[in-house]
Structure 1
Amino acid sequence: MSARCPEGHLSEAMDYCDVCGTPMDAPAGAGMPSAPAPGGGGFDLGPSAPAPAPAPATITCPHCGATNVEEALFCEACGYDFTTGTPPMDGPAPEVEGPGPESPVQEEVEPPEDEPEQSGEEQEREVEEVEGEEVEGEEVEGEEVEAAAPEPEPEADPGPEPEPTPAEPAPRAHRAPRHTPPSRELADAWVVEIWVDPDWYAVQQTDETCPSAGVPDVVLLTRSSALVGRPSSSLAARPEIDAGGDSAVSRRHAQLSSDGQRWWIEDLGSSNGTFVGTVGEPLPTTPLTPGQRVEIDRDDRIFVGAWTRLALRHATEAEKQGRG
């Protein structure tokens, strides 16, 4: 059974025209049929030519103003991350070349016109008019009178200039990625190391006794997401990354996830927060915002609970085979 769409095409489908895609219940379009049907006064409402493909959607980088394809993860010009909204760490946005500062226009000064030469009678007349008059700067009665220059007024002391107050940087939960996440290097397997960190324990306000630091527990990641927490039968929590020895870790504390190219960490509203720091830098003090994913760089470390530190890295061949 077939029906005719509002544009005049015969369609086997009853919801959308299988020729032009127009909804079958839409009002008739404004297009005219191509030619009158032979043998009658009507028109041949046959299939029309396919519409041209739409131009690819684009987005403008808010950091440097460059135009990128809408599906782009990073700006091609400056590396701005469209997924997390973080600017690059390599430097400021590229400057757009423009005309340099205008140089002041020098006005052309026309040379003074030559004065006409005076005759001898005019010169004698000017000398007679000057005689008898006191002129500043000329000798009067054998003495030279000089015009007294006005004394400059003393300038008021403005006082010491106030020192500018340095602007305090706004606190940030985590710095912008360096665009070197571990998954940029192709690998088919990943592991998470679970460490006991005495330095992290030293800054926590807890009465728990920190266990001795030894070799880490290694968890092989077999899926694109992994729950960080402590097991709980009542809450049906079975975390892939089990930090059950640390009672300051929530049952469902945080979530690791990957799109096959990058890794993120997201706090799930834990009691004591999730922190991300970098090797060689001070320990983090600001927790991640619950529900907001943060991309993990190669040298990043995740801190949870009273002493737990997590590190993401490539799996060795022995760990892939279960012998790590």
Structure 2
Amino acid sequence: MPTCPKGHQSETDDWCEVCGHRMSSAPAPSAAELCPNCGTPREDLAQFCEGCRYNFVTRAGAVSVPQSSLLQPSRRAEGPTGSPTWTATVRVDHDYFARVMAHSEPEDQGLYVPTYSPDLHIPLTRTVITIGRRHQSTGEPPFIDLDSAPEDPGVSHEHALLVQQPDSTWSLIDKGSTNGTTVNGAEDPISPYVPAPLKDGDHIHVGLWTTITIRQD
């Protein structure tokens, strides 16, 4: 059975049926194709967009991600009519940690939450906000980098996205993270790659103890 460059076994020899990565037998791209949904370059004829999981093969799975957001990364999250700006507050949430530990495996009971860490207030200055941890191989950090002390070990490197909508509100997309993403203390995580609408003041829970609250300025 063919093995893709990321180590998955696949019955297909063009794109990996597990991750959508181009197999070694597939023809190399002549030029980088941009995702028509979010503008992310297509990686080696991968089936799915790395940014928003748009399906290049079936041309499905689009979510409302403005292409200009990646082409102009320093642009403020403001509309042409002076839409309000937003801020994400990142904090160590002891109540969320307690809920996580209540459903954890016995081998995880030795984990602990930092006793104190100052809140981080991050202006949302792009229309696509990445949430995760810094890649050790490339050193490239996400916009909301949870790799800084105290590092939350339950957060995936590419955990989730915040995507600003045309009406200036936000949607949350879990990128298939290992431990999932919940909102406002819900027991069940949101579905991976399915946009979840957010409101002013909503709480996003990721990892073991991290809560991110988005607020309209």
Residue number in structure 2 paired with 1:190: 86
The CA distance in 2 between the partners of 1:191 and 1:294, in whole Å, is: 18
Aligned pairs for 1:128-277 (under 5 A) are 187-204=83-100, 205=104, 206=108, 207-234=110-137, 237-244=140-147, 245-261=151-167, 262-277=169-184
Q: Which has the larger radius of gyration?
A: 1
- Per the TM alignment, residue 291 of structure 1 is displaced from its structure 2 partner at its CA by 0.5
Aligned pairs for 1:53-92 (under 5 A) are none
Q: Which protein, 1 or 2, shows the higher relative CO under an 8 Å CA cutoff with sep ≥ 6?
A: 2
Distance of aligned partners of 1:259 and 1:236 in 2 relative to their CA distance in 1, 3 Å threshold: farther
The CA distance in 2 between the partners of 1:189 and 1:298, in whole Å, is: 11
CA RMSD across the alignment: 2.3
Q: What SS is found at the alignment partner of 2:203?
A: strand
- Per the TM alignment, residue 235 of structure 1 is displaced from its structure 2 partner at its CA by 6.0
Tell me if structure 2 keeps the 8 A contact 1:187–1:314: no
* Letter of the 1:227 counterpart: T
Q: What SS is found at the alignment partner of 2:112?
A: coil
Distance of aligned partners of 1:265 and 1:298 in 2 relative to their CA distance in 1, 3 Å threshold: same
- Per the TM alignment, residue 195 of structure 1 is displaced from its structure 2 partner at its CA by 0.8
Q: What SS is found at the alignment partner of 1:203?
A: helix
- Per the TM alignment, residue 221 of structure 1 is displaced from its structure 2 partner at its CA by 1.5
Tell me if structure 1 keeps the 8 A contact 2:171–2:195: yes
Tell me if structure 2 keeps the 8 A contact 1:237–1:251: no
Distance of aligned partners of 1:237 and 1:273 in 2 relative to their CA distance in 1, 3 Å threshold: farther
Q: What SS is found at the alignment partner of 1:202?
A: helix
The CA distance in 2 between the partners of 1:218 and 1:228, in whole Å, is: 14
Residue number in structure 1 paired with 2:20: none
| Equivalent residue for 2:210, pick from 301, 308, 311 | 308
Residue number in structure 1 paired with 2:45: none
Aligned-pair identity (%) = 30
1:170-220 Cα shifts (integer Å, max 9, x gaps):
xxxxxxxxxxxxx9xx74422111011001101212433201244311112
1:284 aligns with 2:194: no
The CA distance in 2 between the partners of 1:297 and 1:306, in whole Å, is: 23
Tell me if structure 1 keeps the 8 A contact 2:146–2:155: yes
The CA distance in 2 between the partners of 1:214 and 1:236, in whole Å, is: 23
- Per the TM alignment, residue 259 of structure 1 is displaced from its structure 2 partner at its CA by 2.2
The CA distance in 2 between the partners of 1:199 and 1:187, in whole Å, is: 33
- Per the TM alignment, residue 247 of structure 1 is displaced from its structure 2 partner at its CA by 0.7
1:22-75 Cα shifts (integer Å, max 9, x gaps):
xxxxxxxxxxxxxxxxxxxxxxxxxxxxxxxxxxxxxxxxxxxxxxxxxxxxxx
Q: Which consecutive residues of structure 2, in runs of 5 or more, have no partner in the other structure?
A: 1-62, 65-78
Tell me if structure 2 keeps the 8 A contact 1:191–1:313: yes
* Letter of the 2:194 counterpart: Q
Q: After the TM superposition, which of the residue ranges 257-266 and 304-313 deviates more from structure 2?
A: 257-266
